[in-house]
Structure 1
Amino acid sequence: MKKDSSVLVKLSIFLCCLYFLFNSCSEPIPASKVTDISDIKAVVDIYQTLTDENDNSISVSLYDRKGKMFGNDSVNVTVNGKKIEYKIIQGLYYTKTYLYHTEKIAPENNQYEFQIQLANGKKFFLGSVPSLKLSSSRNIIYDEEASLNNDFSIQWSGLHDVNVLYLSKTVKVNTREKSNVETFMEQPGDTIKIGPAGTYTLKKEKFSKPGETLDILGFEFTAEKTGTMNPQLLNGSSITINGNHDEQANFK
């Protein structure tokens, strides 16, 4: 019985591997079979720097009704009237990513608007999202060289669309053994909802735990927005834009 059970487990693993390999190597659905906007799930991701609205990166991923990514030179996607290049990216284990990608596209009337033309010539509104308002990291005030003996405060103002603050820590691991090599470890921090102006204070008691000492505190002021998609698209369609100011303080 144990031998039969082992064979079944191995057979299941083998079949799963075959399924993964088949799905990874198989080509996407032919573009000619996608005849309407209701046949598509679209995911649009935009990164825009907060100091230059023309410094951006735009990616559009399309999926069929089975959730399989597809794309084709005969399916055109545009943003603000400019065609987005279609790319096939070769990944590991024979996997491929079918992606529409472009960079440095200026928003028009503070907006990114996307259109799609299918292989049969039909054109549809795909989605739109407002551009991010610009702001300066000079409006973020803190001590770049901070003391472990005092509370640490950050003040900011005029960051406009910024609505999330991500905090992360790099700590020095203290060991009993004497060594010339110091060990550092990154730790996940906190995610805090914020407004365009405010103050955040980290108490010195939170700096360290037994066996470790805070070395670097990273903080990322992030602006995140979601836009509007064509309601005829499949569920799961989305359009998001984000940008950030990255800062860090060193502790002694």
Structure 2
Amino acid sequence: MKINSYVQIRLYMLLCGLYFLFSSCSEPIPASKVTDISDIKAVIDIYQTLTDENDNSISVSLYDRKGKMFDNDSVNITVNGKKIEYKIVQGLYYTKTYLYHTEKIAPENNQYEFQIQLANGKKFFLGSVPSLKLSSARNIIYKEEVPLSQDFSIHWSGLQDVNVLYLSKTVKVNTKEKSNVETFMEQPADTLKIGPAGTYTLKKEKFSKPGETLDILAFQFTAEKTGTVNPKLLKGSTANINGYHDEHATFK
């Protein structure tokens, strides 16, 4: 019997939903099946504040050759000799994230050193990430309230390890209709490569364009570094650290 197109579409959507449900609910492969570091992809992410190197957040995610996270039968990860706690994070639609996470671990010799012990007892160097040099937001000079009739400048110095400036604008949307409700829209951030000292100027002509007026300029002075990972790890393994100073100016 021929099935009409409406029924076919409904069946297709049902099958897709069931596939997503079962694939999301499926458990990761047992860590006991991973017998060598060459079977693993590791992703190491560290956030460290730029005013206190001990104020940090460290996460490590492990994946198998098929890109699937695996659970913790008896796999241990340490950073600077301290064990990282294994966690299962419940997400939306029955999804789960399996990762190792810890906070406030002091770097040693300006490094975060990671070791892994597999379920079979084998130990390996996992990765190494340099800590970020400290700096002060007081070295970022600018006007917090800016007239729309003047150019806006930021001056900075002594921001060790800071190498990226992210700039994002919040604009007021101008409408012809009179209303007590004002509409604001955040625009995608611009990215500038910078050094520890410099100047950035935004010309007043850039504050506004038809239908929009600049309201807030947020700027994030960011330090980003890449560490090293065990070369035997699977392709795509990474080790990164970042920290930033968040500032903003308001335009009137």
Matched to 1:121, the amino acid is G
Matched to 1:167, the amino acid is L
Q: CA deviation at 1:13?
A: 3.2
Matched to 1:135, the amino acid is S
1:126 matched to 2:134:
no
In 2, Cα distance between the equivalents of 1:189 and 1:103? 28
| 1:15 aligned residue | 15
1:103 matched to 2:103:
yes
User: CA 1:3 to 1:211, structure 2 compared with 1: closer, same or farther past 3 Å?
Assistant: farther
| 1:94 aligned residue | 94
Q: CA deviation at 1:24?
A: 0.7
Matched to 1:52, the amino acid is D
CA contact (8 A) 1:73 1:86 kept: no
Q: CA deviation at 1:9?
A: 4.1
| 2:36 aligned residue | 36
| 1:213 aligned residue | 213
Identity %: 85
In 2, Cα distance between the equivalents of 1:36 and 1:13? 40
Where structure 1 has 5 or more consecutive residues not aligned to the other structure, the ranges are none
| 1:237 aligned residue | 237
SS of 1:20's partner is helix
Please give the TM-score of this superposition, normalised by the length of structure 2.
0.96
Q: CA deviation at 1:12?
A: 3.6
In 2, Cα distance between the equivalents of 1:93 and 1:66? 22
In 2, Cα distance between the equivalents of 1:149 and 1:30? 63
| 1:177 aligned residue | 177
In 2, Cα distance between the equivalents of 1:100 and 1:73? 13
Please give the TM-score of this superposition, normalised by the length of structure 1.
0.96
Where structure 2 has 5 or more consecutive residues not aligned to the other structure, the ranges are none
CA contact (8 A) 1:44 1:58 kept: yes
1:248 matched to 2:241:
no
Q: CA deviation at 1:87?
A: 0.6
Matched to 2:172, the amino acid is K
Residue deviations 1:74-107, cap 9 Å, x none? 1101000000000111111111110100000000
Q: CA deviation at 1:179?
A: 1.8
| 1:154 aligned residue | 154
CA RMSD of aligned residues (A): 1.4
Moved over 2 A (4+): 2-19
| 1:228 aligned residue | 228
SS of 1:94's partner is coil
| 1:115 aligned residue | 115
In 1, Cα distance between the equivalents of 2:165 and 2:11? 48
Decide which moves more: 197-206 or 47-56.
197-206
Matched to 2:94, the amino acid is Y
In 2, Cα distance between the equivalents of 1:99 and 1:13? 32
Q: CA deviation at 1:44?
A: 0.6
| 1:57 aligned residue | 57
Residue deviations 1:100-143, cap 9 Å, x none? 00000000000001000011111010000100000000110111
Q: CA deviation at 1:187?
A: 1.1
SS of 2:187's partner is strand
Residue deviations 1:141-184, cap 9 Å, x none? 11111111111111111101000000001111112122222111
Decide which moves more: 168-177 or 13-22.
13-22
Q: CA deviation at 1:59?
A: 0.4
In 1, Cα distance between the equivalents of 2:39 and 2:189? 40
| 1:145 aligned residue | 145
